[in-house]
Amino acid sequence: MNTNTQQGTVTFKKPNASLSAEEVEEADYVNAAVCTVDNKPVTLDKKSPSFTQSVPTIAVSWVVLLVIVSLHIYFTSVISENNNKLNEENRNLTSRNQELETQNQELEKERNNLTEKIQNIQTEWNELNVTRAQWSIDAYCPKESNVRQCKACQKGWLEEQSSCYAINDPPSAGQRNWEGALEDCRGKISDLAVVDNEQEKKYISDNSWGSSGDSGYWIGLRAEDGRWKWVDGRNLTESSWIQQPADNGQCVISVYNEGWKSVSCSDRNRWICEKAALSV
C-alpha cells in the first residue's frame, strides 16, 4: 500500500503475520526518523524578494537623515553669524549712545553758559538803558537852581521845526572827510543833515557859518551809482538844489549864501548833524 504526503513519500509495507516483533520495531524507528527530517522548518534565503524590497527604504531614510543634519548645521551657522552681527551692532549702538550722551552733556553745559551770558547781557543792557535814560534827562532837562527845565533839544543843539541841529565848526586840524563827519554824527545818536523842504534848506544855509568857495559844511548827500542819495537811502528829488552831476566819489557841502556844491568826499570840511527833537 502506497501513501503520498507534502513532506516526502514513505512506503509502508503491510506487515505480514509472519514478521517478527523485532522487524516491526525497526520499521517504526525508520519511519519516525524520516518524518522528523521532513518536518524541519524552512529557513528564508537572503536573496528573497522581501529583503530586496527593504533596501531602498533604508537608503532613503539615511538620505533624509543626512539632509536634516546638513540643514541643522547650515542654519546653526547662519544663526550664529547673524547673532554675532547683532551683537556687534549692539556694541556699536551702545558706543554711539554713550557718545551722544557725552555730547548732550556738553551741549547742556554750553546752554547753561549761554543762558548765564544772556542774563549778564540783559543786566548790562538794562543798566545801559537806565544810564541812557538818565543821560537823556540830564541832556534835555538840565537842572537850573535845583529845578529841571526840559527843552526839545539838548544843550549845544539848535531847534528848528521838529529837528535838532549840531553845527560842528572846528578849526582846520579838526575838520573831517565825509565818512569821518558821518561817524561823528552817529556817535551822537544822529546823522548828517537830511533836507526835506526849502525852509529847511535855507536854515541849513543860514547856519553854515564862516564858509565860502569850496569850503563848507558836509550834509548827508552823496553820489551813488550816478544819482544823489541821502544817508537814509532816499534819492534827491529836487534836482534844482544842486546843478552838478552825481559823479561817484563826490559829496555835497552847504556854503553860506552860496547854496550847495559838489566836492570830493575825501576833502576835509566842517559838518552839520541832525536828529529828531524831543516832544515836550
- Residue 50, pLDDT score: 58
> Which phi and psi angles does 214 have, rounded to 5°?
-100, 15
Report the CATH number that the domain containing residue 165 is assigned in CATH.
3.10.100.10
Alpha carbon 117 to chain centroid, angstroms:
24
- Give mean pLDDT, residues 199-225: 95
Alpha carbon 145 to chain centroid, angstroms:
64
* Domain assignment present for 6: yes
Whole-number mean pLDDT of the chain?
82
- Give mean pLDDT, residues 212-216: 94
For residue 118, count other CB atoms closer than 10 A to its CB: 10
Greater model confidence, 34 or 92: 92
* Domain assignment present for 182: yes
Which residue(s) pair with 163 in the sheet?
160, 276
Q: pLDDT-based confidence at 53, cuts 50/70/90?
A: low
Report how many domains make up the chain.
2
* Domain assignment present for 217: yes
Three cell numbers, residue 166: 549840531
Residue 128 has pLDDT above 80, yes or no: no
Q: What domain range is 33 assigned to?
A: 2-38
Q: Is the dihedral of CA 117, 122, 127, 131 positive or negative?
A: positive
Three cell numbers, residue 20: 517478527
| Nearest to 194, CA basis, from 247, 233, 249 | 233
Residue 14 has pLDDT above 60, yes or no: no
Greater model confidence, 41 or 197: 197
pTM of the model: 0.56
Q: pLDDT-based confidence at 27, cuts 50/70/90?
A: very low
Q: pLDDT-based confidence at 219, cuts 50/70/90?
A: very high
* Domain assignment present for 79: no
* Domain assignment present for 49: no
Residue 33 has pLDDT above 50, yes or no: no
Greater model confidence, 48 or 82: 82
Q: pLDDT-based confidence at 58, cuts 50/70/90?
A: confident
Residue 16 has pLDDT above 80, yes or no: no
* Domain assignment present for 120: no
Residue 171 has pLDDT above 50, yes or no: yes
CA 118/CA 112 separation, integer angstroms: 10
SS (H, E, C) the chain: CEEECCCCEEECCCCCCCCCHHHHHHHHHHHHHHHHHHCCCCCCCCCCHHHHHHHHHHHHHHHHHHHHHHHHHHHHHHHHHHHHHHHHHHHHHHHHHHHHHHHHHHHHHHHHHHHHHHHHHHHHHHHHHHHHHHHHHHHHCCEECCEECCCCCCCCCEEECCEEEEEECCCHHHCECHHHHHHHHHHCCCEECCCCCHHHHHHHHHCCCCCECCECEEEEEEEECCEEEECCCCECCCHHHCCCCCCCCEEEEEECCCEEEEEECCCCEEEEEEEECCCC
Residue 7 has pLDDT above 60, yes or no: no
- Residue 35, pLDDT score: 42
* Domain assignment present for 167: yes
- Pairing label, strands 250-255, 217-224: antiparallel
Residue 120 has pLDDT above 60, yes or no: yes
Kindly report, residue by residue over 227-261, the tens digit of the pLDDT: 999 999 999 999 899 989 999 999 999 999 999 99
* Domain assignment present for 139: no
